[in-house]
Chain A
Amino acid sequence: MRQRAVLLEVARVVMIVAIALAISFLVILVVSKQPSEAFKQFVTGAAGSRNRVSNWLVQATTMTFTGLAVALVFQARQFSLGAEGQLYLGALMAGVMALHTPGNAVIVATVAIIVAIITGFLFGLIPGYLKAYFGANEIVSTLMLNAIATAVYAFVLVQFLKPPRAGTNESKPFAIFGDTNRLHPLIADTQISVTALLAIAAAIFVHVLLYRTTFGYGLRMSGFNLRFAEYGGVNTRRTVMLAMAISGGIAGIAGAGLVLGTFGRVNAAPSAGYGFDGIVVALLARNFPLAVIPAALFYSYLRVGADVMGQNTDVPFEMANVIQAIIILLITAEALTRWLRRRRSGEDEPELPPMSAPETITSTATVPTEAAG
């Protein structure tokens, strides 16, 4: 039964991806003067050269982190959208450490990553604490915190990290890491570094945390039914708060990975929406930590393919955003599941609970207006 439910989920995701790709092909067909070339670039672009494969895997690494961060809070049915901001601050603090910590490259990198985790954890703790103990809506608070994080990032970069007379807004390169200024690559001539291994470790960590610990059980229970969990003896407030904080820590590593492994310095904008890509990845993975890795690999493949298409043909890479939106819409459309369920499994109900639609949000919105009335 359970196996069948998993298969059904996989079938659903595959179908949705197929629809999204079909729509994007239609769009390409309409707007492009060279549609076949654009298709080809889009679908095969990411595997086209060593450089692109490197780019693909690096993006997959980042998206694994942000995808895990999102999956973790979604499992608790918290709509924390703060991964982007946590990533920025993680990147900033990792960069500061890489510039100013003494010691050899290994020590510096370790310190930088740990500090990035702590930074992300603390920055995730803020909306977590406010939600758990004050009931502050986490959607709005995390979106606000994202803007604050990017402002702080820009401020610190321009005020403290940028060399005085530099023309561009970026710090000095990380000299500690030698000529490339980056973490030592796992594969020569690529930017694939130890963070790729960390991403796999993080997925295993989140899996164990969720499915093999009491805390994880309480977390999933809180996501399933907050009251029920509370009656069952789960400290739901602490659980919700920690879920958001741990998620922040994971997003922090993504930031550290970007500055240490990819840019080799603190640059003007380390992330182009990786936090939001994480949402797509988590949805594709149906919030299962181990499924986040293939989801990230697949989604980053599309992203890089879209980039290649944008550079070489007349179809701009913003196409990827359109695909991203379609995937989110289709995956969250519960009616689609019902339709598929009827077709595939007759009357049977799959055992997996729907993961994508927390009801706590609307409970924020369905609050009486007039106290006096």
Chain B
Amino acid sequence: MQEALKAIFTFTFIASVFRITTPILLPALGGLLTDLGGSINVALEGMMLLAAFTGPLVSNRAHSGFVGMLAGVLVAMLSAALLAFVHLNLGADIVLAGLALNIFASGATVFLLFKILHDKGSTSTLDTKKLPFWDIPLLDRIPGVRQIISGQHVLTYTAFVMIFVVAFYLYRTKWGLRLRAVGENAEAAATAGISVVRTRYSALILSGLLAGLGGVFLSMGQNGQFVRDMTAGRGFIALGAVLLGGRTPYGTALAALLFGAADALANQLKPVGALQDYAQLVSVIPNVITIVALVVYAQRRKSQQASRARHYREQQALAEPTAPLLSTEGD
């Protein structure tokens, strides 16, 4: 037990939380966009997997990690566009179509891996490029900060910057406003002249971009190789993070960090003798938290709707004597 506690209260542990959070945070932000736009993306998992697979292979051919990353992200975005097409143009249910994309990604990556490398497990036999870890000038001289913040992976920095980018996009740009309007009431938004289809297309494709970055991190970050089904449910955990975070960028980020911490904890417990056996159970802590979060979130939403309805009724009641019909139009 003490060993475990000692392992937790170190700078390396905190640094590992940030690292482990990265491939949850990126898809979670993508999931947030689609969720707010009203088309839940259950295919984050598959998009990550496709990107994780494409990145290292292209980096090998192009001799460049950056090109590999771009290719991976592009493939994820293309798959997102395909999902959007099937859902928005062909009328397929988004959940089933998303599920189909996950199944496709899981099968197609292994299929191609075998056809290209004659290996069904991983790309370990291939010389693939990684993306770099960055030391931040000045910060890398402060003890503590050096271990935690500096020297992280470039995509870890990207992920945390993305929190603010997504927040800005959602609340400070007209596209963000449209996205939220479409998610809140698609018919009203359409009446106001917003193209629901185009808005949801862009939300899904952007979620592909973010999920793709998350996938590339898995295979070109610390690991440097693609392993079959390496996403291991992170895309689903990411969806949980969106709901736990109350469907806001900062909330989602905090939830992702919480999940990252639980994962990091499970990793720390694995080598500790007596607790080793329980690592399996610790690793599902995020799943349990997510279920609790679903309930809490649904409850909160219900009370919000109730209070909003009350507010609306009160306003109507107040306004009635003077302007009976038009009074509520201004809000």
Name A's B-contacting residues (CB within 8 A).
31, 79, 81, 130, 134-137, 139-141, 143-145, 147-148, 151-152, 154-155, 158-159, 276, 279, 283, 316, 318-322, 324-326, 328-329, 332-336, 338, 356-358, 361-362, 364-369, 371
Contact = CB atoms under 8 A, between A and B. Distances in A.
Contacts of B297: 136
A151 B282 CA distance: 9
B107 A319 contact: yes
Contacts of A371: 304, 307-308
A140 B240 contact: yes
Contacts of B92: 329, 332-334, 357
B93 A279 contact: no
Interface of B: 34-36, 38-40, 42, 86, 89-97, 99-101, 103-104, 106-108, 110-111, 114-115, 120, 180, 183-186, 233, 236, 239-240, 243, 247-248, 277-278, 280-281, 283-284, 287-288, 290-291, 294-295, 297-299, 301-302, 304-305, 307-308
A135 B296 CA distance: 10
Contacts of A318: 106-108, 110-111, 114
A199 B271 CA distance: 44
Among the interface residues A322, A326, A365, which one has the most CB atoms of the partner chain B within 10 A? A365
A362 B99 contact: no
B247 A147 contact: no
B280 to A, nearest CB: 5
A368 B291 contact: no
A299 B9 CA distance: 52
B301 to A, nearest CB: 6
A324 B180 contact: no
B186 A366 contact: yes
Given A135-B302, A332-B97, A335-B89, A316 B110 contact: yes
A282 to B, nearest CB: 10
Given A316-B115, A329-B92, A365-B35, 6 more contacts: A144-B291, A145-B291, A151-B281, A155-B277, A318-B114, A321-B107
Nearest to A357: B93
Contacts of A151: 280-281, 283-284
B294 A324 contact: no
A358 B295 contact: no
B111 A155 contact: no
Contact of A144 (B90, B103, B115, B287): B287
B277 A158 contact: yes
28 contacts: A81-B99, A134-B299, A144-B287, A151-B283, A155-B277, A276-B103, A316-B111, A318-B110, A319-B111, A320-B107, A321-B111, A322-B111, A325-B107, A329-B92, A332-B86, A332-B92, A333-B97, A334-B91, A338-B91, A356-B96, A362-B38, A365-B35, A365-B40, A365-B183, A366-B184, A367-B184, A368-B184, A371-B308
A367 B283 CA distance: 31
B29 to A, nearest CB: 15
Contact of A366 (B107, B114, B185): B185
Nearest to A328: B100
B298 A147 contact: no
Contact of B99 (A135, A276, A365): A276
B96 A369 contact: no
A369 B287 contact: no
A324 B247 CA distance: 32
Given A320-B107, A365-B183, A139 B42 contact: yes
B94 to A, nearest CB: 7
Contact of A145 (B90, B93, B107, B287): B287
A334 B88 CA distance: 10
